[in-house]
Structure 1
Amino acid sequence: MPIAAPESVPTVDPRLAHALGAPQHGDSTVRRTGRALRKLTASASQEVAEQSRLAREIQQPVTTGRVIAVTSIRGGVGKSTVSALLARAFNHYRHDPVLALEADTALGTLPVRLGAQSVRWACTDVAQILTPTMQLTDVTGYLVPVADGGWLLPAGQGRVGAPLDVGTYRTVTLALRRYFAVTVVDCECLPGDVARTAMDTAHARVVVAPLTAEGVNGTRAVLDWLAQLPHSALATTVVALSANSPDTTLDVKTAVAHLRESGVAVVLLPYDRHLAQGGPIHTAMLGQSTQQAAVQLAAEAMARAVRVR
């Protein structure tokens, strides 16, 4: 018996939508002016070569859909933001279908970050509908199209509800990777069951670490746990070290070195005024350093995802 279509629900309460205000640029005017002046005197060849290298990494062909799981040790550190940045980077550089899948039912913000105006079908609904005979056009009828390309499957409708169970997560990810070259999964925080399952079964993992002593220390404990998994999970893991304040005092070099001791790649995601607003992410409004970091993170994750057969 077919299930009834859920009601469409706005991602942001209309009474609060005006509070988002106009999006700010990630870089201040002074910083943008200084960067433009430096570009006039610097050679662009090296920068172009690096951008081309990263683009090639992101565009690597895949024979089966790759799943990249994103998690963190606690909420509020930028996990959904990193997931959205990754999905946008893959959508920009790849020419095959890309899916952003939200696997965090604790009022996650991925739909807002990706600019979805409303959501209808959620993971638990779609898990009951998917069949092996469906075509991509059938599947996308239950997904949210993202303005800049790609698709979104939310975990819920912005209400506190039952957590996503491991069985549903496995059903959805196994079925949908047939249709999407890359699936970016915005997981719940560790040590949740779905997060542990996602980290164990994904082709690549991104752990978001806040640039604080507590955050780096806790993330290192997660990396030590990944090292104990039986299939080299650590070799396919990247850490996104996120600065959530312009006044961070922790020494970046020390923090990066501590995390790299475990053998993982570390990408620094700088503080960005546009991201700090918490609304929809507009790529053109991101600071230049943030845009570069997002592309580097996508390249690092994809390079590791294709290693797994």
Structure 2
Amino acid sequence: MSSEDADPDRGPAREAGELSDVEELTADTIVRRRVDRPQGGWRGAVFTASRGLLNPGVGPEEHAYRDQVRRIRRPLGSAHQIAITSINGGVGKTTVAACVGLVLAEHRGDRVVALDASQNAGTLADRLTGDTSRTVRDMLGEIDSLGSLADVSRFTSLAGRLQVIASEQDPAMSEGLTRAEYERVCEVLRRFYNVVITDSGSGLVHSAVGGTLALAHSLVIVGSPTADGASRVNKTLDWLLARGPAQRVSDAVLVLTCDRATKHIDTVRVRRHFEARCRAVVEVPFDPHLATGAQIEIDRVRAATQDAFRSIAAHLADRFDATPVGVGAEMVTVDRAL
């Protein structure tokens, strides 16, 4: 029988140029679902109440949620470092780092750690676990003996599935991490964690912040949609452009925290301006639970705010490299110009 007569579903392998389709053969794409069941909202209530006899289908919000989760779960072949920074404090940088970390850890099956690299008694661990009994400074004191995940875990606390490393809390150690110390900590973390999130200190000229930016595969810049906030974000982007490749800025994810949003500011124009400079712009709405500054309970965060943090996480995961080279196996080139 000639190849022309072969059953297309059972016949010879396709041409080499068509083999890229194999990457799409996942459980989500090839398993036939009997029904596409809505999980929430009135659609889910109708489906459940009718025992499946009435199926209004999945709505646009649930479709968007499923797409976000699918992107967040993108396979990751080597350790990926995410730097979350801002040129000034008080814009919600630590809140963004905490919530993005929680979202990534919740939806992924691998290991995610959040490191507080703030220079002055950072609050990341306070917001996530309330445990600052062991800090990154303690970890540095024993770093030569850390040969396993269990060893590293002695210096972390747990928020859901997210592991957290607190910054130094002693005012006498106000200098925080040096660049060399930060790089040494990250070298260890990359051996045992798939995603490393750094809540960097405010400002951009501190030694450790330079290390944070140099090692980061993904960059999140946090600002606010106000006159002074937009100006500071622009200064941040200009500073990064002057000291590194333009791709660092164009590939950044910009987060606008709307705690200080006002009707007197044209937020649409602000957003459009930064969309022309960065890969993605995400607005995080005001949230009463996050505004307290207390320990974050993600279930108490409003749905719209959770959606914003899932959007940030999905944008970051879009840049995850699925090449299976093993956690921490990659070589990291540190740009000393930063």
Contact 2:104 2:313 in 1 (8 A): yes
Corresponding residue to 2:233 among 201, 219, 225: 219
TM-score normalised per structure 2 = 0.74
Pair 1:246–1:209, CA change in 2 (3 A) = closer
3-state SS of the aligned residue for 1:280? coil
Taking the TM superposition and a 5 Å limit, the aligned residue runs for 1:102-121 are: 102-116=116-130, 118-121=131-134
**Sequence identity percentage:** 27
Distance 1:158 1:59 in 2: 38
Name which of structure 1's ranges 182-191 and 219-228 shifts more when overlaid on structure 2: 219-228
From the CA coordinates, give the structure whose radius of gyration is larger.
Answer: 2
Q: Which has the higher contact order (CA 8 A, sep 6+)?
A: 1
Q: Hey, what's the Cα distance between the residues in 1 that align with 2:236 and 2:294? A: 29
Is structure 2 residue 194 aligned with structure 1 residue 181?
A: yes
Q: How much does 1:70 deviate?
A: 0.4
In the TM superposition, residue 137 of structure 1 has moved relative to its aligned partner by 1.5
Amino acid paired to 2:166: P
Q: Which residue of 2 aligns with 1:153?
A: 165
Change (3 A) 1:275 1:133: closer
Q: Which amino acid aligns with 1:303?
A: D
> Which of 219, 244, 247 is the aligned partner of 1:232?
247
**Contact 1:106/1:160 (8 A) holds in 2:** no
Aligned to 1:205: 219
- SS of the aligned residue for 1:177 comes to helix
CA RMSD of aligned residues (A): 2.6
Deviation at 1:264, TM superposition (A): 2.7
CA contact (8 A) 2:178 2:208 kept: yes
1:172 and 2:185 are equivalent in the alignment: yes
Of 64, 67, 80, the residue aligned with 1:50 is: 64
Listed one character per residue, the Cα deviations across residues 100-139 of structure 1 (whole Å, up to 9, x for unaligned) are 10000313211121032x3222222212322487111121
* Kept in 2: contact 1:190–1:196 (CA 8 A): no
Query: 5+ unaligned residues in a row in structure 1: which ranges?
Result: 1-35
Cα drift, residue 43 of structure 1: 7.0
Task: State how far apart, in whole Å, the 1-side matches of 2:45 and 2:143 are.
Answer: 54
Q: Structure 2 vs 1, CA of residues 235 and 307 (structure 1 numbering), >3 Å: closer, same or farther?
A: farther
- Aligned pair count reads 273
When the two structures are superposed, what TM-score results if normalisation uses the length of structure 1?
0.80
Counterparts of 1:5-154 in structure 2 under 5 Å?
44-116=58-130, 118-131=131-144, 134-146=147-159, 148-154=160-166
Contact 2:224–2:260 (Cα < 8 Å) also in 1: no
Cα distance in 2 for partners of 1:61, 1:239 equals 23
Match 2:314 to one of 293, 299, 304? 299
Q: How far, CA to CA, are the matches of 2:290 and 2:140 in structure 1?
A: 32
How far residue 51 of structure 1 moved from its aligned partner, in angstroms, is 1.4
